[in-house]
Amino acid sequence: MDKFILKCSACGKVFNNFGEWFENAQTCPTCGKNRVEVVYNHDYTLLKSLIYQKNCTDNTIWRYFDFMPLNNRDNIVSHGEGNVSINRWEFLERHAANHHGIDCKIYVYRADENPATRTFKDAGASLAASVLKELGVKNYVVASTGNVANAFAYYMAKAGISLSAFIPSDALVAHSAGVSYYGQRVFRVNGDYSKAKEIAREYAAKYKIPMTGGNTDPLRVEAKRSMIFDWLRATPEFPTVYIQALSGGTGPVAIDKAIREIAHTGLIPKAPRFIMIQPSACAPMAEAWEKAKTSGFPEGWRNKYPIYENPETSIPTLATGNPASYPIVGELVRQTGGEIFSFDESRCEDIARLIAYETLVRIGPASAIALGGFFDSLKRNLIRNGDVLMINIGESIDRAPDFFTQLIYTEKQADSVNDCKIFDRTNLQSKLWDKVLNYEL
């Protein structure tokens, strides 16, 4: 029996492998939809033993090889992806207790530690490169706001595959560099992310090359869902709340897939509430959600969302202005009892400075959106006594050098030693907290 199959989420048609799926241009020939999910033929008691196996030192996504859609281990293309820490941040727990009277536990999933490109996109890129290698594919296409392109550029290069990455005109120079550096092709498209996707699709069709299938792409989803297995492995309790910066929603889609897949094992008590945060200058899902919520989720609410053309967010990584995945993501958020809202992106620097001060962790702007969303969640009364939070620190500051330089706040000019006063770092703490906390929603 095959290790896995792909199944159309709409009509149930089966594809025996990724080769068949790619031959059909990643579209179901029966119903015309383009979402498939991987179904494994393994007994899930094996997954339980992989999660809890004491003598296994592999903490990458490949620990779960038997539950990844790859047939031969020799094709694995890996660089430590997924082998990241999950830290407990007690200073945030104290804040929740002291300022809001909420008793909760707070974990952060440190995707910024991924050694290849320092984002939570490395897992998907590792699996995609491995599967393409197994199929003997030599060219691949991605459209990306930046982090996906970087991760795929690295892993495809490692697999000997040429990558064409289509990025929007406002993508960071650092993102272009991260792709080009490995000899992969960057197409900087004159337009926004939607335009980049459009041209990428035409290019993929013209040259008959497979392309990442967006937020429900089974390669990205299967890899990312291993986050859930890691939470089970590395934390004493399963989260009741999951907080993440939201662009297109691969994160929540992947978590939902894992939870449905292993529901029958009894490993997971209940899905966490998805609290999804968008940057204020590109928050179409948050806008749609707010409208749907205030009008009581009327018939057809999932398909009512605005489209922002050329969104002018200062966080290009999160610049999905056309939230085509909202019908799926909105539904998941509703099912889990979660929320989607926007966070004032001009406050990301204050958040990043505070986190660097308190933890020495260098978070990128998309991670600052998630943490800002945590502070706002407390103000919005979304966190309850007894909650266990998992906050996705999705990227390191290494991904955003411009943002990094904007964080300078202790520099003084000096002409002579008379200009240089002795200082005490601990005096900064209360000022940094004040900046983060003193604002109105």
Ligand X SMILES: Cc1ncc(COP(=O)(O)O)c(C=O)c1O
Candidate list 78, 114, 130, 147; residue touching ligand X; CB under 6 A: 147
Q: Residue 123 CB, nearest distance to ligand X (Å)?
A: 12
Candidate list 143, 149, 241, 245; residue touching ligand X; CB under 6 A: 245
Q: Residue 159 CB, nearest distance to ligand X (Å)?
A: 21
Candidate list 5, 6, 28, 221; residue touching Zn ion; CB under 5 A: 28
Candidate list 60, 114, 119, 216; residue touching ligand X; CB under 6 A: 119
For residues 30 and 346, which CB has a smaller minimum distance to Zn ion in the complex? 30
Q: Residue 29 CB, nearest distance to Zn ion (Å)?
A: 8
What token pair was written down for 55?
A: 């003598």
User: Amino acid identity of 286?
Assistant: A
Q: Which of 250, 249, 233, 231 is nearest to 241 (CA)?
A: 231
- Interface residues for Zn ion in 317-346 (CB under 5 A)? none
User: Amino acid identity of 395?
Assistant: E
**Options 3-11, 34-42, 185-193, 422-430: segment touching Zn ion (CB under 5 A):** 3-11
Candidate list 317, 336, 342, 377; residue touching ligand X; CB under 6 A: 317
**Long-range contacts of residues 402-411, Cβ cutoff 8 Å, at least 24 apart:** 402/172, 402/174, 403/348, 403/349, 403/352, 403/364, 403/365, 404/362, 406/349, 407/349, 407/352, 407/353, 407/356, 409/353
Taking the C-alpha atoms of residue 325 and residue 216, their distance in angstroms, rounded to an integer, is 8
**How far is Cα of residue 277 from the mean position of the Cα atoms in its chain?**
12
Candidate list 246, 255, 292, 397; residue touching ligand X; CB under 6 A: 246
Candidate list 17, 250, 314, 336; residue touching ligand X; CB under 6 A: 250
Determine, following the binding rule CB under 6 A, whether residue 313 of this chain makes contact with ligand X: no
Q: Which of 374, 375, 366, 321 is nearest to 348 (CA)?
A: 366
Determine, following the binding rule CB under 5 A, whether residue 13 of this chain makes contact with Zn ion: yes
**Options 184-192, 245-253, 336-344, 413-421: segment touching ligand X (CB under 6 A):** 245-253
Determine, following the binding rule CB under 6 A, whether residue 284 of this chain makes contact with ligand X: no
Q: Residue 112 CB, nearest distance to ligand X (Å)?
A: 8
Taking the C-alpha atoms of residue 292 and residue 32, their distance in angstroms, rounded to an integer, is 28
For residues 100 and 201, which CB has a smaller minimum distance to ligand X in the complex? 201
**Options 16-24, 28-36, 139-147, 152-160: segment touching Zn ion (CB under 5 A):** 28-36
- Check: CB of residue 298 under 8 Å from CB of residue 292: yes
**Options 24-32, 85-93, 332-340, 369-377: segment touching Zn ion (CB under 5 A):** 24-32
Across the chain, how many H-helices and E-strands are there? 16, 12
Q: Residue 275 CB, nearest distance to ligand X (Å)?
A: 13
Taking the C-alpha atoms of residue 236 and residue 222, their distance in angstroms, rounded to an integer, is 24
Residue pointed to by tokens 């897939």 = 257
**Options 6-14, 36-44, 121-129, 167-175: segment touching Zn ion (CB under 5 A):** 6-14
**Given its phi and psi angles, is residue 201 left (phi above 0), alpha (psi -120 to 50 degrees) or beta?**
alpha
Considering CB under 5 A, how many residues would be counted as binding Zn ion? 7
Candidate list 30, 53, 72, 385; residue touching Zn ion; CB under 5 A: 30
What token pair was written down for 425?
A: 């770092």
Q: Which of 3, 93, 53 is nearest to 232 (CA)?
A: 53
Candidate list 69, 218, 251, 279; residue touching ligand X; CB under 6 A: 251
Q: What is the DSSP string of 359-380?
A: H---B-HHHHHHHHHHHHHHHT
28 binds, among ligand X, Zn ion, none (CB under 5 to 8 A by kind): Zn ion
Determine, following the binding rule CB under 6 A, whether residue 248 of this chain makes contact with ligand X: yes
Residue pointed to by tokens 């809001």 = 100
- Using CB under 5 A as the criterion, which residues of the chain lie in contact with Zn ion when the complex forms? 8, 10-11, 13, 28, 30-31
- Using CB under 6 A as the criterion, which residues of the chain lie in contact with ligand X when the complex forms? 119, 121, 145, 147, 215, 244-251, 317-318, 366, 394-395
